[in-house]
Amino acid sequence: MTRLAIDIGARFIDMIAWDADDIRTCKQPLGNVLCDSAQVGLTKLDLVPAQLSEVRIASTGFLNHLHDARSTQNGPRVGLITTAGFEDVATLGRQDRIGLYDLVTKVATPVHLIDEEAVFGISARMDAIGVELEAVDTDEIARIADALAERRVSSVAICLLHAHQDGHHEHEVASALTARLPDLSISLSHLVDPQPREFERTVSTILDSWLRITVLPDLAALKDRLTAEGFTGLWAWGDGRGALTEVSGSLVPLIAGGPAASIRGAAVIGASTKNAISIDVGSKTSDLALVRSGEPALIDGGLLAGLSVRGARVDMESLPLGGTQPVPGQTRYTLDDAMIAAGWMAGETACTATEAAQLLDRVHQHLAEAITRHATRRNVDPTRGSLVVTGGAGAPLATGLADALGLSHVLMPHLSSLAGAVGLARAPRRAEIQHRIDAPLIDVTPFMLTEFAQASAAELGTLPEGASFELFARISPRPRMPHIDVAFDRNTPERLVDAYQEAYHDRYGIAPQGPGHVTLLCARSDDPTGALKPDFAMTDGDMVTVPAGWRAVPVQGGFRLERRGS
Amino acid sequence: MNRANRILQMRLDGLAESKQCMLLDTAVSPVAREAADCASALFTADGELLAMSDAIPLLLGALPGQMTTLLTRYSPSTMREGEIFVANDPFSGGTHLPDIAVILPVFGEGQLIGFSASLLHHQDVGGTRPGSVPPDATEIFQEGLRLPPMLAGANYRLSQEIRDLVTANSRVPDIVLADLDAQVAAARSAARGWAQIIDDLGVTGFMDATADLLNSAEAETRATLGSLSHDEARAIDGLDPDATLGRLDVAVALKVSTDGMVVDFTGSSAQVPAPINCVASGPLSAVFYAAITLLGPNPLRNGGILRCIRLVLPEASVVNASPPAPVNARTNMVRAITSTVLTALAQIDPKGRPAANCGMAYVIAFSGMGADGERFLATEIVAGGAGGGPDHPGAHAVSTDVGNARNTPVEIIEADLPLRVISSERRRGSGGDGLHDGGDGIRRIYEALGDGIAVSIRGERFQRVPEGSLGGGAPAPAAARILRADGTTETLGPRSAVKLDTGDQLVIESCGGAGYGAQS
């Protein structure tokens, strides 16, 4: 059986199909209908859906749409239901600004994703430990349903105070709305992001709600189409950590799935390098990350498309600069125009070769500055590391980028223009079981840990050979402080306290600032079954174009472009 | 300046920012962890500012003074790796007593290469009222424990003596000590990152490069200042007039040239026996912030800029108080100073500058004994609105200019304190009208769930609000009141100490930003 990885970009669908003996690739232009384009791609790969045992999919569309919405302040918007008195939660944000010394004060809030006429407060109220203070008023919900219908709102985010402690009010509101508006898409904060801090949870819920009407429909339609045409295999999404997952309560983990896959796809070639910067230049964005010894770091949240988004993902940065985007500092020409005029790609443009040279220099400088900022923020001098370039627009820019950074070489992995699909093809399938406990560490007994380990192992079933099984406890020094995930062994659960002390000290250099509070137990299995091997055999088409003054040296996982004479 | 040195500046900036993130990860008190009322910076071995985190400018501008004072008391040649110095004395370079600076010398190849410093607002350092921000203080002695720069530990550990001192003075010593430990750990982590830079450059290379960075920043700043009008600009602003204290003015005469930026505060009001005074770190923070806004995107942000700043500060004034003046509520004085300086600066560099921001923030401390018999104490910071700009309306409900404190989430407040937040909303219409309206302030209502909850409130702009720009309107003033459970209403002034009993509601309304341009 054949497996298929699909990375959906702004202009192309990158596809890799592989089995034990063969690997086939396709870069299919994305038409108006995703399903149709994917179908054409499959045909080019000489495949029908019934032949596929597995489909792995990721999309940069999540981020691209968010960048577009931010820059245009236009597009679909969602409704929002909050606790009465807190309807402005998305506007108020956390009250801090970005760009401390900018003359114009700017904030990172999701107001551009909300229909401000469709924000409603409801009287139902929980207290801080999830005890009901006021019940849901169904008449009130009925009035809101009518108003949502009148505004033609198709998706609504519900984020009530303290819902992370008890979500039954959110469920009640959702049920009442669904009864009147069966087609309404509803996102519930306690399912999307069950953690305290109402603004952060609201951002997650709005994002989930917004993505369900902007990006998800096309992806769901693709799955339906393949299924209708005989696909009965496994379906997995690439998430922001670079793993494969099944969508459960939230789309938010998928937002960075496309870039994370590209970064994972690029990482192999940097495995022998202490510090490598990976940059994937696509049609809409350039995504970059620091890769240390072949592994990108993970973070628990940060800015994505101008929004502070919670959740574990690869420590990456996404810039709104790609082939279809204007070259920074002007509005007349896109990067594509410059590359066409330079003879790097086919097409028509009014841009002259002279203008193109200047524009490309500007792009190189802009990206070099971004790379430098990203690396130095992580205490890495980019001129002392390696640069890994991927993406459809990456290859032609690679040596110019190296020049701009003062590097004598640049790495290009095999199938660099399909790095996202490669990353998906190599990704492990991740299964996770999470159990909320919200208890002092001292009350989490070895018996509880053992019981959780056994129950999780049973639920995950017999793991295939090569699959990992890890157990974590999410612990913060005191309730509501930032947490760390502490691994524990099911055979020595009594070591959790010591393991926590050690892990905290390793990260921060001090003993934990409190006795410890556990919010979550997690069992995780990464199953590499079927993943494309790092040393896959290359096709003839995977050659790099080498500009004058440079040479391509084959290395493990791809090519090293070196300046001649260096 | 060469590219390698610019990269070094960016690495140092990144190091300071990483240190700041670590502080936010490990600090225990909500005012640090949630409100981010802390700042991190790195200094050269000579005590010049080398790099700053993206933290509250009001705090960042105070660290250079702390550093200078430390080096006048302790010779660098006597310092050892792992030693810890602390200070909070406003009259020795500090701000107000809750802000404790923790400074660690950093060594490379056996020699002193710089200092890693942070300033963090601690929850309580004693004094007459919980939170150490008594709005009724008349002398600094009522405001808490005063620490001149002192050696406070070795081997990266606070000494038992300093632990005992804090324990004896603070109402919540475990929280203060935990936050001090967080400062030490963050400083140490920066030192480890610094070692990687030394590995790359060597000490000599590093020292040479940092000298170039400082000189380059100075040259860039002088060049920018030289390109502006050399006319003197004047502005006057201040705090709400007080029946007892009289007018509380900040007067500024500002002049720039390639010689630097000279800001003369002559004409500012004399210090008063109320805690609204600030010490010299306040005007320095304000002017430093204002200077950086002149420098365009991605300037070298280091002590080279400070070399170009000269302040003329009248002694024993509200902008440069002398002992024993109380200073705990100095935040809004620094905001007023910033507004005044920015207003003057707009006369010589008007391009792109918005109308005045609200120029205030509420700092509210809640304290008492919980139903479990445990003491609770937390500080909350509430911002106002931003001024309307030439192209856009002002942002609503946002920390502006030298502030950048975050709010405390309602879910955190309600989990930590016997309070219910009834509402938290944009105070619609409070921004000044204009071609581009000023941003609105915030209205927040807290209800007491227990008796005897002490509240210290420090606000401003209850009467004296900023003027609009180019025909724009002034914002609505701030206001505060208590709706007692018995139905009566008590109107509060900008600085109040009150008690709430079960069912009482505290209503806080912050000032909006000023409008820009005449309404069409």
Q: Do the chains contact at B189 and A373, CB–CB below 8 Å?
A: no
Between residues 428 and 447 of chain B, which touch chain A (CB distance below 8 Å)? 439, 442, 445
Q: Compute the nearest-CA separation of A132 from chain B (Å).
A: 13
Encoded tokens for B99: 């802000």
What is the ipTM metric for this complex? Answer: 0.96
Confidence of residue B93 (pLDDT cuts 50, 70, 90): very high
Mean pLDDT, residues A334-346: 95
Residue A280: name the closest of A405, A401, A428 by CA. Answer: A401
pLDDT digits (tens, 9 = 90+) for A108-152: 999 999 999 999 999 999 999 999 999 999 999 999 999 999 999
Q: Residue A38: name the closest of A28, A52, A51, A48 by CA.
A: A28
Phi, psi of B283 (to 5 degrees): -60, -30
B197 at interface of A, judged by CB pairs closer than 8 A: yes
Q: What is the dihedral of CA A294, A300, A301, A304, to 10 degrees?
A: 30
Confidence of residue A542 (pLDDT cuts 50, 70, 90): low
Residues contacting residue A176 through CB under 8 Å, at least 6 positions apart: A136, A138, A141, A142, A145
B438–chain A nearest CA distance, Å: 11
Residue to mutate among A475, A510, A519, with most B CBs inside 10 A, is: A510
Assess B193–A contact: CB distance below 8 Å, yes or no: yes
Average pLDDT over residues B336-345: 97
Residues in chain B: 520
- Are the beta carbons of B398 and A95 separated by less than 8 Å? yes
Partner-chain contact A376 B10, CB within 8 Å: yes
Is the CB of B442 less than 8 angstroms away from the CB of A92? yes
Q: Is the dihedral of CA A403, A406, A411, A415 positive or negative?
A: negative
A-chain residue closest to B443, CA distance: A85
> Is pLDDT at A566 greater than 80 in this prediction?
no
Task: Please count the residue pairs, one from chain A and one from chain B, whose beta carbons lie less than 8 angstroms apart.
Answer: 176
Cross-sheet strand order for the sheet of A470-476: A23-29, A12-18, A2-8, A52-59, A234-238, A244-245, A429-440, A517-527, A470-476, A484-488
The least confident of A192-196, A268-272, A378-382 is: A268-272
Mean pLDDT of A475-494: 96
CA quadruple B212, B218, B219, B224: dihedral, nearest 10:
150
| B357–A105 CB contact, under 8 Å | yes
pLDDT (0 to 100) of residue A191: 96
Mean pLDDT of B33-62: 97
Q: What percent of chain A has pLDDT over 90?
A: 88
Among candidate residues B494, B467, B471, B468, the one with its CA nearest the CA of residue B481: B494
* Chain B hits for A128, Cβ within 8 Å: 411, 414-415
A362 pLDDT exceeds 60?
yes
Model confidence pLDDT, tens digit, residues B481-513: 999 999 999 999 999 999 999 999 999 999 999
Quick one: average pLDDT of B213-239? 97
How large is the average pLDDT for residues A42-48?
Answer: 97
Q: How do B453-458 and B495-500 pair as beta strands? A: antiparallel
Exposed, middle or buried, A150 (CB in 10 Å: 0-12/13-18/19+)? exposed
Tell me the sheet residues that pair with A120: A81
> Considering only CB atoms, which chain B residues are within 8 Å of A104?
352, 354, 389, 391-392
Q: Which helix (H) or strand (E) holds B410?
A: helix B410-416
Task: Locate A318 and state its tokens.
Answer: 């996404």
Of A91, A384, A513, nearest to B178 by CB-CB distance is: A513
Is A372's CB within 8 Å of B10's CB? yes
Q: Does B155 touch chain A (CB under 8 A)?
A: no
Which residue of B15, B25, B188 is the best one to mutate when testing the A interface, meaning the one whose CB has the most A CBs within 10 A? B25
Closest residue of chain B to A162, computed from CA coordinates: B411
* Length of chain A measured in residues: 566
**Strands A307-314 and A23-29, sheet pairing:** unpaired
Q: Which residues lie below 8 Å from residue A434, measured CB to CB, with a gap of 6+? A: A520, A521, A522
| DSSP string over B286-314 | HHHHHHHHTS-SS---SHHHHTTEEEE--
Scan residues 300-359 of B and list those with Cβ closer than 8 Å to A.
Answer: 352-354, 357
Mean pLDDT of chain A: 94
Given a contact cutoff of 8 angstroms between Cβ atoms, the answer to whether A337 and A349 are in contact is yes
- Output the pLDDT for position A546: 84
pLDDT of A1 reads 84
Whether B28 sits inside 8 A of A478 (CB atoms) is: yes
Residue of chain B nearest A478, judged by CA positions: B28
| Per-residue pLDDT at A543 exceeds 80 | no
Q: Are B385 and B512 in contact (CB under 8 A)?
A: yes
Residue in chain B lying closest to A121 (CA): B423
Q: Widest CA span of chain A, in angstroms?
A: 78
Q: Which DSSP string do the residues of A386-397 spell out, in sequence order?
A: EEEEESTTHHHH
* Among A86, A198, A514, beta carbon nearest to B28: A514
Q: Please identify among residues 119-148 of chain B the ones whose CB lies closer than 8 Å to any CB of chain A.
A: none
CB proximity B292 to A under 8 Å: yes
Question: Does residue B392 sit at the A interface (CB-CB below 8 Å)?
Answer: yes
3-state secondary structure of B422: strand
Name the least confident of A162-171, A551-560, B41-50, B323-332. Answer: A551-560
Provide the whole-model pTM: 0.96
Q: Inter-chain contact A128–B425, Cβ cutoff 8 Å?
A: no
Q: Is B425 on the interface with A (CB under 8 A)?
A: yes
Residues of A in contact with B410 (CB under 8 A): 86, 161, 198
Any A CB within 8 A of B383 CB? yes
Segment A45-63 shows an average pLDDT of: 96
pLDDT of residue A272: 78
Name the β-bridge partners of B103.
Answer: B85, B117
Q: Check CB contact under 8 Å for A92 and B425.
A: yes
The C-alpha atoms of residue B480 and residue B457 are separated, in whole angstroms, by 9
Of B7, B189, B421, the CB nearest to A372: B7
Name the pLDDT band for B191 (thresholds 50, 70, 90): very high
Task: Flag whether residue B72 sits within 8 Å of chain A, measured between CB atoms.
Answer: no
> What pLDDT was estimated at residue A538?
61
Question: Which of A84, A199, A381 comes nearest B7 by C-beta?
Answer: A381
* Closest Cα in chain B to A195: B411
Confidence of residue A565 (pLDDT cuts 50, 70, 90): confident
A229 confidence band (pLDDT: 50, 70, 90): very high
User: Which tens digit of pLDDT belongs to each residue from B363-396?
Assistant: 999 999 998 888 999 999 999 999 999 999 999 9
What mean pLDDT is predicted for residues B140-163?
Answer: 98
A223 to chain B, minimum CA–CA distance in Å? 39
pLDDT in tens, A74-111: 889 999 999 999 999 999 999 999 999 999 899 999 99
pLDDT in the model for residue A541: 56
Residues of B whose CB is below 8 A from A406: 3
CB contact under 8 A, A482 and B189: no
Are residues A162 and B293, on separate chains, in Cβ contact within 8 Å?
A: no
pLDDT of residue A293: 86
CB contact under 8 A, B28 and A379: no
pLDDT higher than 80, residue B9: yes
Residues of chain B with pLDDT > 90: what percent? 97
- Closest residue in B to A381 (Cα–Cα): B7
pLDDT value of residue B519: 87
pLDDT at A511: 94
Collapse the DSSP code of A261 into the 3-class scheme (helix H, G, I; strand E, B; otherwise coil) and give the result: helix
Chain A residues with CB under 8 Å of B13 CB are: 376-377
Q: What's the pLDDT at A246?
A: 86
B423:A85 CB<8 A: yes
Confidence band, pLDDT 50/70/90 cuts, at residue A340: very high
Name the residue among B391, B404, B412 with its Cβ closest to that of A97.
Answer: B404
Q: Quick check: B322 pLDDT over 70? A: yes
Cβ distance A105 to B394 less than 8 Å, yes or no, reads: yes
Across chain B, mean pLDDT equals: 96
